[in-house]
Amino acid sequence: MATWQCVKQCGACCHLQPEDRPDLHEYLSTEELELFLSMIGEGGWCINFDHDSRECRIYPNRPRFCRVEPAVFQDMYGIEPEELNDFAIECCHQQIEGVYGDRSLEMIRFDQAVGM
């Protein structure tokens, strides 16, 4: 069985593009939505994403909506903890494909890491 994990130096989730997420207001509070929108920089990338290291500059202090944790996903999306693994894998597949392509090195690395 595939097990979700974050793959270092991917950064696909740091490509924020609000037009790709028309339902942001449905799962973010007003304050979180303001924060999310304030984090969008050049080309739709998060201002906290370091393009050289391909890592988040604020990872330990990242906002709630950047965390793949059972309580966060249950609260934001109504995803039960036992469904989180499959949901997170699907989210990553969609995001990596949209940002880098379905045959990208990032997708290959993700699939290897999660055991697909």
**Domain extents in the chain:** 12-114
Q: Please tell me the predicted confidence (pLDDT) of residue 108.
A: 96
- Round to whole Å and give the CA distance between 79 and 5: 17
Model's pTM, two decimal places?
Answer: 0.90
Tokens coding 111: 């699939």
Percent of the chain at pLDDT > 90 equals 91
Residue type, 93: H
- More confident position, 114 or 17: 114
Model confidence pLDDT, tens digit, residues 10-44: 999 999 988 888 899 999 999 999 999 999 999 99
Average pLDDT of the residues in 54-81: 95
